[in-house]
A and B are shown apart, each in its own frame.
Chain A
Amino acid sequence: DQQVKQNSPSLSVQEGRISILNCDYTNSMFDYFLWYKKYPAEGPTFLISISSIKDKNEDGRFTVFLNKSAKHLSLHIVPSQPGDSAVYFCAASGRGGSNYKLTFGKGTLLTVNP
């Protein structure tokens, strides 16, 4: 039973355009959401997070939007750069902070073409 779903296994975007990565979840107990980026042969690197009390969090080129009623979140990258090409994982937790287990989606491979 996949509690965190990333339904698009891959996404291809032109450099300079916006990349939108989507994530849906089913567990209403999730309270904290994160996006990680992963290059081949490396561990996931934290990008950005959002608490359920917010609907938007922005950090430079990265913005995460949360729609609690729809149990949906998205990551916007603008402008997209070739170095953004990686697998992006959506993750959710019952609480904020680093001591609580994360449930991951399957990831979306983003390719940004020059």
Chain B
Amino acid sequence: GAVVSQHPSRVICKSGTSVKIECRSLDFQATTMFWYRQFPKQSLMLMATSNEGSKATYEQGVEKDKFLINHASLTLSTLTVTSAHPEDSSFYICSAGTGDLNQPQHFGDGTRLSIL
């Protein structure tokens, strides 16, 4: 089945640091990738949608200068949390779609980000 790899799985860093999270589709080409954030006991909240070769579309309330998304190839999207602060601590998870109408999105295993 379709596999999505997300790296790193856990990051602990100091406030003010920028953190990059990678999302790779390992055995398929992902025309669209999604980035979600999940706070404890809450639902996965969509942050942005990225299409290969074009600018990401951000959801309302998500700062695009804070959360930089790059989708430079059909198998890789990156999310960079710039100048991270403790309130950015969360579980970030990506998903990828093939564009096939009969296929669901496939998710990575997520990244637990902790800002001290």
Contact = CB atoms under 8 A, between A and B. Distances in A.
On whether the two chains bind one another, the answer is yes
Interface of A: 2, 4, 9, 34, 36, 41-46, 49, 89, 96-107
A43 B107 contact: yes
Interface string B1-29: 00010100100000000000000000000
25 contacts: A36-B107, A41-B9, A41-B109, A42-B109, A43-B6, A43-B108, A43-B109, A45-B107, A89-B43, A96-B101, A97-B100, A98-B98, A98-B103, A98-B104, A100-B97, A101-B34, A101-B49, A102-B34, A102-B105, A103-B46, A104-B36, A104-B43, A104-B45, A106-B41, A106-B43
Given A97-B97, A102-B105, A104-B44, A43 B110 contact: yes
A41 B46 CA distance: 19
Contacts of B102: 96-97
A104 to B, nearest CB: 4
A105 B44 CA distance: 8
Name the prevailing secondary structure of the A interface residues. Answer: loop
Nearest to B106: A46
A75 B56 CA distance: 33
B99 interface: yes
Contacts of A103: 46
Contacts, number: 69
Given A34-B104, A49-B104, A98 B43 contact: no
B93 interface: yes
Contact of B105 (A98, A106, A107): A98
Given A34-B104, A103-B46, A106-B42, A98 B109 contact: no
B107 to A, nearest CB: 4
4 closest A-B pairs (Cβ-Cβ)?
A: A98-B97, A43-B107, A97-B101, A104-B43
Nearest to A95: B101
Nearest to A103: B46
Nearest to B28: A98
